[in-house]
Chains A and B, each alone.
Chain A
Amino acid sequence: MHEYSVVDALISAVLPRLTEHPGRVKTLVLKKGELRILSDRALGNAFEILSHGTRLAGAQLVVEVVPTVVACPACGYRGAAGRLGEADDHFSIPVLACPECTAPVDVVAGRELYVDHVTLSDEPLTDA
């Protein structure tokens, strides 16, 4: 359970960027590579607690999963990773072998973790 330290880093990265943007923070959209082991629920809980007393308090953390993309040094394939389990199954997992020629592949996407954007409402922050 290291979601707390991840969310701590996330909040520290976001807050300084918001000083020149007034308004209430509605949502914070986080992109998470599907190969990462972080739990969305634990991220949400950590965000709720750690954002307390900051400008992010009350905002909604939206986690968007980035699917795995691989590149094959053997045959040049570049695209979605092959998967184990049903294609539309939530629990299918990416396999790190080339779907065209089965060779070992490099991971191009699927391990990232970054803030995509923050949405603010334009109402002034004068209440409360």
Chain B
Amino acid sequence: MALAEQFDSSNVDIPPGKGVATSTEVKMVAEGVDVYYGDKQAIDNVSMEILDKSVTAFIGPSGCGKSTFLRCLNRMNDTIDIAKVTGRIYLDGEDINSSEVDPVQVRARVGMVFQKPNPFPKSIYENVAYGPRIHGLASTREELDDIVKGSLARAGLLDEVESRMHEPGTGLSGGQQQRLCIARCIACNPEVILMDEPTSALDPIASARIEELIDELRENYCIIIVTHNMQQAARISQKTAFFHLGVLVEYENTVDIFNNPRDERTKDYISGRFG
């Protein structure tokens, strides 16, 4: 696919009835979130509501703070010494940054899939079984087996790996590894799944499978995905948020972002004039 074509808004066509939020339940709320890396501000006063049982896409030029904001939603920024997050983020009405909340608990409820597939250097089975095991989701070996198989099946990987569950997960192809990471994530029974450019390292076929998977998962989860691929955002998301230089510029139904963006910057970005 030619680059110009990919970024040309005239090619981003949204099938009728898609790209519109159908859910009304609010899962997460951000209020006046600022993020600083040392003295440098990366996120400036972002407020938004994220709907349950839908896919929300974050788009924006490189370095605008999409990953940074995403990582606020499961307190992943705690692991970066110099990062400082202020403002409030609610998960089901509870402030996840309050001192009573255990960040480990938050991360169990808000799972994450990373840009680069990062399976543990253990067997495929162990990769998926790890989360349920530490969270006590299975009391017997059979239950654990069921969770592992079920998660792999939902990630569309079971058929390919069923015969080699005890071989290392790092021996899979890139696309398989990413699906393994998704299986690992959903095995923990999260409520929200954060995905940071999950298909950027994959070929179109592997990407398409993951997109299908995301579409299926939407029925049960709140999914937030960062992507540089406009087509992808248009295909799979119901809501789209456009970030620019750490500011949330526009946040609407996906159809509206792509078909009639209100802000000049959004328009320029989706038509490929800067990025």
**Does A associate with B in a complex?**
no
